[in-house]
Each structure stands twice: as C-alpha cells, then as structure tokens.
Amino acid sequence: MKNKIILAFAAAALLFIPAQQAHAQAQQPNRAVIKVNPLSAFALTGSGFLEYAITDNLSAQLGASVTGVSISNIKFSGYGFTPEVRYYFSENKVAPMGPYVAGYGRIRSFKLTAEKQDEEGRDYSATYKPIGAGVAIGNQWIFNSGFTFDAFLGAGYNGGNLKVNIGTEEDFDTGIIGDMLLGGGFSVRPGIAIGYNF
C-alpha cells in the first residue's frame, strides 16, 4: 500500500511539473513586438516600431516615420529613423516587457517648400537633416492576448542646419510649431505606442 501511495505521488508530480513549465512558458512574452504611435497622427505623421529582445534584459528597436504637413504656407515632407537599445530592469519580467531605460539615436530628413517663387518661377525650397541622440525611460505592458502598450518619456539633443536652396532662412520661419517639428537643439520625447507581441 505504501509503495502504491509513493508511486501515485511520483506520477502526479511528473504530470504536474510539465504542466507548471508549460504555464510558466505561457507567461513569458514572445521576443518581437510591432507597434505604432497613435499620437503621431495629430501631427500628420505616421510612425512605427519593430522591437526584438536580444536577451532577457536587452532589446533593440528600430523606429521609422514619414510626415507631410503644412504650417504657415510652408510644406514639410520627410522621413526619419530612430534606432534604440533598451535595458529592461525588472526582477520578475523579461524583455520586451516591464520597465526600461533606453538610449536612442535619431536620423531625419526634411524637405521644406514655401509658397513663394523666385524670378525664374522656381519654388522656394530648403532641406534640413538633423541627427541626434538621447535617453528615455518607460514601461511596456504585454497582455495575454499579445496586445502591447508602451509609454515612454525621453530627452535628447538634435543638431543640424537648415540648408536653403532657393530663398532665405526667413522665408522658412514657422515659429514655435515649426521648431517643434524640425526639432533642433534640446528636445523632449514623450510618447505611447500600441502593438502586438509575436
């Protein structure tokens, strides 16, 4: 009788351990996340991100954006890339889930066109190609369905000069809103992203 009880406990334990491991694995997020920033639509910009967990604490993310907006008779069009490395520091969660600190770079390219023409009928135009870097802190939640919510706040510095092809720098002055879009100098980078973990 005693051997049957021990055998029953051993069999139950063998069945229980794989079930526990399967349950624990189900709680781990997948390594990749694809996301979009819904707030960027308010600035007539589309931006998305692809993140991949390299280790349990480290991930790499690449963001891309496109824009086309007009302010004060000046049309902005362009694109940008934001490479980012994230360190997830939670003791009970693994990348790409939980709180993190990040370092990022920013490479952007804008073409500006003013609604003015020179004597030869050419539109006033300029280019602006800022490059920058910064740091951010945030938290990424991954739900059982795979739905992902990422909230972050960063600060960085962008450098670059407006290169006027036709016209003068004053022709491309759009005030504070244009300065925020072009993002020269110190900048704050708040944001959210929603997506799917796969």
180 phi and psi, to 5 degrees? -65, -40
Q: What is the pLDDT of residue 181?
A: 61
Q: What is the mean pLDDT of the chain?
A: 85
| Alpha helices, DSSP H, located in the chain | 2-27, 175-182
* Residue 10, pLDDT score: 45
Dump strand ranges (E) for the chain: 32-36, 45-53, 58-71, 74-88, 98-117, 123-128, 131-142, 147-159, 162-166, 185-197
| N- to C-terminal Cα separation, the chain | 50
- Model confidence at 69, pLDDT cuts 50, 70, 90, reads confident
State residue 162's pLDDT score. Answer: 85
Say which DSSP state 181 is in.
H
| pLDDT tens per residue, range 147-182 | 999 999 999 999 888 899 998 888 887 666 566 666
For residue 21, count CB atoms less than 10 angstroms from its CB and return exposed for 0-12, middle for 13-18, buried for 19 or more. Answer: exposed
